[in-house]
Amino acid sequence: MCLELLLPDNHTALTGDLEVQLIGPRPEHGRLQLLRATAAQSFAAVAAVSVANSTTAVRFPCGVVTLGGRYRVVLLSAEPQEEAAQEMDVRWPAARLALQPQHAQTYPEVPVTASLEFPPTTCFAAAGAVIPELWLELLYCGHSPAGCADGNATNTQVIFSQQVLGYPRRRDLVLKCELFGLAGHYVLTLRSKLYTSVPVIESEPAHIKVAVSDRFVFNVHARSILPCDSLDGGVAVLFQYPACEPRVDRVRLFAKLRADVASLAPPTSLHYVAEQRVPPGAHSLRFDCDYFSERYIEYCFVYVNQAVTGAVTDVRMDCVPTMPVQGTGFS
C-alpha cells in the first residue's frame, strides 16, 4: 500500500491553515513540502513541515499560502519509496469591482469612481512569504465589451494601472476625466503579474459605456468659402469642447474634388490640405485664404481629438461649398 496525500476540495489564500491528511504507510522521518506553480510545468517551494511515522495530518500555517494558483504537495524522505504527491488549485480572495456611473460621455464632467473590495482574511502573510501584489487596471475594449474578453485582443488597451498590495477591505479611486477620451466600452479588472492558472477574479469585470460628449460643438462661420476675405484673416471655424484638461484637439481641412468624368453623379474624393492645433482656452481658428481654390467643389473642416492612448477620433465635421450656392427661380 502506498502513502496517499489527501488535500481539501477547495482552499482560498489567507483564509485558514491548509490541512493535508496522510493515509497509508508513513516514513520514520520526512518532510512534506508545499510548492506553487511559477509556470505551466514549474514549481517553487513555499513551505515545508516535518513528518514522522505517527503523523496522520499536517497543517501548513495560514500565512504561507498568500496567493491563488496551482499548488503541489510532495513528501520528501530518505527512505526508498514511491513518491507521494498531489496538486490542487487555491482560489484568490473574492474581489468585487465596480465603476460608477455605468454610462458616461467622453471627458466626463461627473467623476468616474472605481472601487475594489475584498472579504476579510483570516491572517497576515507569514514572515518570508510572498506579499500579494495585484494590479487594478482600466482597459479600453473598443466598440464592444467583447473586445476585452481575450487579453490578447487587438482593441484592448491598458488605460490606467495601479498596484494593489495585499487584499484591502475597500479602496476607492476617482479616475481622471482624460482617461475616457475615446467613445466605446471600458472594463475595470484585477490582474497578477505572476503566473497563475487560477483567475484572479471569477466574476465579470466592472463595465462602463462611454458616448461622444455633446460638449463638442463645431461649425464653420461661412455660407461659402469664396469669396474669401484675407483682410479678415480667412475662413473662421468656431467650436466648444468639454472642460476636461489636458486634451489635444486639432481642426483639419480637407478639399473635395469631383472626378473629371462624364456622369450625372461623378465620384468625389477628399484631399488633405492643412491642420491647426487648438490652443488651450481657444474657441475659434481661422484658415488663410491661400488654402482655398475654385478647383475644389467643397471644403470640409474636421474637429479631431487625440486621446491619452494616442488614438485620434473625428469628433465633428462641417462641409461648406467653395462657391456661393445660386438660388433658382422663375421669371
Looking at the structure, tell me whether residues 74 and 118 fall in a common domain. no
pTM across the whole model: 0.86
The pLDDT of residue 330: 44
Looking at the structure, tell me whether residues 45 and 137 fall in a common domain. no
**pLDDT digits 0-9 by tens, 70-87:** 999 998 887 766 678 899
* SS3 category, 289: helix
For residue 329, being part of any structural domain is answered with no
Which residue carries 496567493 as its cell? 67
**pLDDT digits 0-9 by tens, 126-181:** 999 999 999 999 999 998 888 887 554 555 789 999 999 999 999 999 999 999 99
For residue 302, being part of any structural domain is answered with yes
What CATH number is associated with residue 162? Answer: 2.60.40.1930
Amino acid present at 244: C
The pLDDT of residue 39: 85
Mean pLDDT of 214-235: 93
Amino acid present at 192: S
For residue 326, being part of any structural domain is answered with no
pLDDT band at 293 (very low <50, low <70, confident <90, very high): very high
- What is the C-alpha to C-alpha distance for residues 61 and 200, in angstroms, rounded to an integer? 22
- What is the C-alpha to C-alpha distance for residues 306 and 273, in angstroms, rounded to an integer? 19
For residue 123, being part of any structural domain is answered with yes
For residue 82, being part of any structural domain is answered with yes
pLDDT over 70, % of the chain: 94
For residue 331, being part of any structural domain is answered with no
Nearest-5° Cα angle at 130, 70 to 157: 75
Q: Which domain holds residue 229?
A: 217-321
Closest CA to 43 of 33, 29, 57: 33
The pLDDT of residue 312: 93
Q: Which of 211, 245, 260 is the last residue of a domain?
A: 211
- Count up the domains in the chain and report the number: 3
Helix (H) or strand (E) holding 105: strand 103-105
Looking at the structure, tell me whether residues 15 and 103 fall in a common domain. no
- In this structure, are residues 278 and 249 in contact, taking their beta carbons and an 8 Å threshold? yes
Mean pLDDT of 297-303: 96
Looking at the structure, tell me whether residues 188 and 110 fall in a common domain. yes
Looking at the structure, tell me whether residues 176 and 206 fall in a common domain. yes
What CATH number is associated with residue 84? Answer: 2.60.40.10
The pLDDT of residue 76: 86
